């Protein structure tokens, strides 16, 4: 009798997760790459946890075939128990404070998520220390789902290493999330010097989200040469992961971020799915009962359909692979030396500039993007640009 392949076994979305371990599963080898997987950083996004549990069962039967180390780490364990996105504050927005220490924000100290972040930090440090002086490549990924219906997609801070890690997957890729959302775990890991990509599998409670996550993880293990898939398995994983993204463009950039003060007062118009096209002037939501209109054309992204969270919605624009290619050529080029000659641009430190928008109007942001800078708006008139 033929054994069932993993995709044919439907996921069980009712497993009790109240005693989920910090390390869901791990396997260490002496050589080969290292893949670190985070799941459940948001406690109501359980597809990643279920996918890790399913996959680890299979991997446990084949540990002799693994040519690299794998760590599966659970995120906000207290919130997972309750089924909430978070308890006191978003665990995926506090990593600037983790870097700066609690002195930067003493209020944090009593929060559940502060405790969680310190435990996670310890796990991350242990893994990083173990591999710091070896030649082994270490990769991180973070598993999420969305409150809106969605196909799977990958998002990451726009560094060349992240682009390389993400480029092998057959789903839409969203670049430059770090310019809109600060204090994420991915940014923290990037700043440690490792590639880190986020995988969004689909809607929170869609069983397909579990299967897409499992397919993503199997593909990742395959592309890292930790556990090779046979051709039919490879094709099946790609099919499962990419359905139903159809013929969406490959790369997107966030062009607008609607920040929300209080999600309970934010009412997104029903029925939007990720990547639905919108036009400038479309009524998208009500915030404190005031209508919110689209400030620009584009594609709607991560519309908020839950009462927790600070991101009302984003608007995306497609970015051509050609432009990406050009920018990767220019990143380390001599042009970086001449940026301060541009009107309105001042060098303020090694690899960092301010841009006075009253003077520099045209294409300044594009030029800095092209050369691999992260561009953040400091106030009405000033941009701050850092080398990524």
Q: Measured from the CB of residue 144, what is the shortest distance to Zn ion in angstroms?
A: 3
For Zn ion, the closer CB: 144 or 388: 144
Closest CA to 216 of 203, 200, 230, 195: 200
Q: Check residue 374 for interaction with Zn ion (CB under 5 A).
A: no
For Zn ion, the closer CB: 33 or 176: 176
Q: How many residues in the shown chain lie near Zn ion by CB under 5 A?
A: 3
Distance CA 278, CA 328 (A): 30
Q: Choose the binding region for Zn ion from 143-151, 209-217, 278-286, 328-336 (rule: CB under 5 A).
A: 143-151
User: Which one among 42, 77, 93, 218 touches Zn ion, defined by CB under 5 A?
Assistant: 42
Distance CA 246, CA 121 (A): 38
Q: Measured from the CB of residue 307, what is the shortest distance to Zn ion in angstroms?
A: 15
Q: Specify the pairing of strand 311-319 against strand 345-349.
A: unpaired
Q: Choose the binding region for Zn ion from 72-80, 113-121, 137-145, 277-285 (rule: CB under 5 A).
A: 137-145
Which residue in the block uniquely carries the two structure tokens 């791990």?
Answer: 26
User: Which one among 77, 89, 93, 144 touches Zn ion, defined by CB under 5 A?
Assistant: 144
- Bridge partner list, 196: 140
For Zn ion, the closer CB: 165 or 184: 184
Q: Choose the binding region for Zn ion from 68-76, 110-118, 138-146, 311-319 (rule: CB under 5 A).
A: 138-146
Residue list 242-281, contact with Zn ion (CB under 5 A): none
Sign of the C-alpha dihedral computed for residues 297, 301, 303 and 304 taken in this order: negative
Q: Measured from the CB of residue 209, what is the shortest distance to Zn ion in angstroms?
A: 12
User: Closest CB to Zn ion belongs to which residue?
Assistant: 144
Closest CA to 141 of 221, 86, 238, 202: 221
Q: Would you call 271 exposed, middle or buried from its count of C-beta atoms within 10 A (0-12, 13-18, 19+)?
A: exposed
For Zn ion, the closer CB: 124 or 302: 302
Put the strands of the sheet holding 153-156 in their side by side order: 23-27, 69-74, 34-39, 138-146, 196-203, 153-156, 173-175, 251-259, 311-319, 298-301, 277-278
Which residues sit at the interface with Zn ion, rule CB under 5 A? Answer: 42, 45, 144
């Amino acid at each position: 009798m033929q054994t069932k392949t993993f995709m044919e076994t439907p996921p069980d979305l009712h497993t009790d997760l109240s005693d989920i371990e910090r390390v869901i599963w791990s396997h260490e080898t002496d050589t080969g790459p290292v893949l670190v997987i985070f799941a459940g950083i948001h406690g109501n996004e359980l597809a990643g946890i279920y996918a890790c549990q399913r996959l680890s069962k299979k991997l446990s039967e084949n540990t002799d075939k693994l040519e690299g180390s794998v760590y599966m780490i659970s995120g906000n364990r207290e919130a997972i128990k309750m089924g909430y996105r978070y308890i006191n504050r978003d665990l995926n927005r506090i990593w600037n404070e983790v870097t700066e220490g609690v002195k930067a924000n003493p209020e944090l100290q009593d929060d559940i998520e502060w405790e969680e972040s310190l435990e996670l930090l310890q796990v991350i440090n242990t893994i990083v220390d173990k591999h710091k002086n070896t030649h082994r490549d270490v990769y991180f990924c973070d598993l999420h789902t969305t409150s809106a219906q969605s196909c799977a997609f990958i998002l990451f801070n726009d560094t060349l290493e992240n682009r390389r890690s993400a480029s092998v997957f057959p789903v839409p890729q969203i670049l430059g999330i770090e310019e809109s959302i600060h204090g994420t775990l991915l940014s923290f890991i990037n700043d440690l010097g490792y590639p880190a990509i986020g995988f969004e599998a689909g809607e929170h409670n869609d069983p397909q989200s579990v299967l897409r996550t499992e397919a993503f993880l199997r593909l990742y293990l395959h592309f890292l040469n930790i556990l090779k898939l046979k051709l039919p398995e490879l094709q099946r994983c790609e099919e499962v992961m990419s359905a139903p993204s159809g013929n969406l463009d490959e790369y997107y950039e966030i062009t607008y971020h609607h920040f929300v003060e209080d999600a309970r007062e934010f009412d997104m118009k029903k029925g939007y799915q990720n990547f639905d096209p919108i036009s400038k002037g479309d009524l998208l939501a009500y915030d404190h009962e005031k209508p919110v209109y689209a400030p620009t054309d584009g594609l709607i992204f991560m519309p908020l359909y839950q009462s927790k969270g600070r991101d009302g919605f984003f608007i995306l624009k497609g970015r051509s692979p050609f432009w990406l290619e050009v920018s990767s050529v220019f990143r380390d080029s001599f042009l970086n030396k001449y940026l301060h000659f541009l009107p309105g641009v001042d060098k303020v430190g090694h690899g960092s500039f301010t841009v006075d928008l009253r003077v520099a109007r045209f294409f300044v942001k594009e030029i800095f993007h092209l050369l691999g800078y992260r561009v953040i708006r400091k106030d009405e008139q000033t941009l701050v640009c850092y080398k990524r």
